[in-house]
Structure 1
Amino acid sequence: MDVMELFFVWLGAAVVVFYVIKIVSFVKMFYSGVLFLQPASFFTSMGEWAVVTGGSDGIGRAYSFELAGRGLNIVILSRTKDKLDQVALEIGQTTGQKVKVIVADFTEDDEYEQIQEELKGLNIGVLVNNVGILPSHIPSKFLQIRNLTQRITEVINCNVKALVKMSQIVLPGMEKRGKGVIVNISSGVACVPSPMYTMYCASKVFVERFSQGLQAEYKEKGIVIQTVAPFGVSTPMTGYLKPNLVTMTAEDFVRTSLKYLKAGDKTYGSICHTIMGWILQSVPLQIIHSERMQDCLREYVNKRVGS
């Protein structure tokens, strides 16, 4: 067997292994209820409280309601007190759980001393690092983002620093007790370099790598750390996209994604979003990165926002 023949044999074997792994991953997602069965007391066994950043809207709000429904008291953090108070009232009336409100603007630098003080003494079993912002709601090339210098600081503070600092605050208690869950919200678009959302996408890649490294460091301590990377979810950030086959309501997405908490250090949160991730990664980057594709994306979002 010559060198070229051997090369193609190994290449073919690698392709087969790659698709076998994909098929196994899909089967694991499809049979999550059996393979990753969680007892009803799973979340309450982690601790008494769940902390959710960006908990007044969208996916964060949905996590807050879902975890309260599973027996946890909730701490919700965001920068708008009126929204926080309203959500706290609704969670309390709906579930009977305690809700603590912390007003925090994660685009700023100096919020964490206050947050740490507010969380002191709480038995925190679950942390959901959900808070995040787009540099611009209209897809834009990097240098075309309005108030770029300010937006750079805000995106790094909110999408990157908040994740790290909240983990620094909550993780020691979990390590001491030998149990806990940290869910870090990334984005499906981070699976490929995404022009027009370059800074946002890069910040979400940080979320994934930080989470995966942290899980490797603390898995033996009994702590589950997972990245969840959704595609279409109907939230304020996405302009309340109409739910359909691939766009889920925040409530449905959260409920589904929690089934895969033990499925690995990263999940897309649902079967349909997993398939979307595979498809997107199969598209040649020359197509995704073409000027025509970038123009189409901007036109599509402009029309949707305008409507």
Structure 2
Amino acid sequence: MITKAVQLSVPEIGACEVLGPEDVDAAYAGIAPRPRDNTRFRELEELTRILETRSVYPVFQPILAFGTGEILAYEGLIRGPETSSMHTPTKLFDAATRAGFLTELNMLCARKVVRQFAKLDMKRQLFLNITPQTVLEVKDDVQRITRFIRDCGLDIAQVTIELTENQLITDRSIFRDALMLFRGAGFRVALDDLGEGFSSLRLWSDLQPDFVKIDMHFVQGVSEDSVKFHFLKSLQHIAEGCGSSLVAEGVETAADFCILRDLGIHNAQGFLIGRATKEPLVVIPDQISGLIGSGSAPLFAKGTASRS
């Protein structure tokens, strides 16, 4: 049994300052006294080690604004140690959720992302991934969080809280009130992966985010799929009516890029534009600039006429 405290002291960015022995022991309670080669036991040991040593690091992926042809923002993503089985964010955050350390991990990652983004001095917006659970648990620490961000050298208006859409929000009213504390402090809000998670359209209506990120399922292949084309066209119409700016995720081909451009989608993110790296892309590649400036392609996806 682990008896050592996990020193995750982050008073300057909010709650959940220290995981004491009782916290770690509680996470192990459902595993012990099983053998130490138990998969969950080893997973928790590795996660605890990552939290103790703060051995995560940020990478940044550019978000392109079609209107200006320039980089609007960077999404701050996180990676675990390169030699770890938790190198990918999905495995890392899944393990933290199972162990009950999700908010602690989320706030550690947020601090790492903010500090590194400030050091890079990018002069663009930062999309910061925050879970709904974290918003609820640190809502009373908004002032300390804003002070930390300003002390790092960023303006609060640069930071967009990107709400990950993998958790069910059971009480929208309570969550909306908590989120309003952040909005009142100057943060913008983005709803991630529209179309993937729980009740996306209702959340869009309830939260009225500044940005809505469209799940890549509806983006990839839109140049050849009339259903996806009409779905995106409808989303763009909704966005115009409620004042949200759309971000198409997972853009990987020039054909899809051109359809998104001609539909009037505001922003795009994906491998075609730039991958998530430690040293983020600063200038849009010439081939992308050429696509932005080229003449409009026919405004329909392949096969639209035959399926409408």
Please say whether Structure 1 and Structure 2 have the same fold, judged by a TM-score greater than 0.5: no
Q: Looking at secondary structure, tell me which structure has more helix per residue.
A: 1
Taking structure 2 as the reference length, the TM-score comes to 0.31
Taking structure 1 as the reference length, the TM-score comes to 0.31
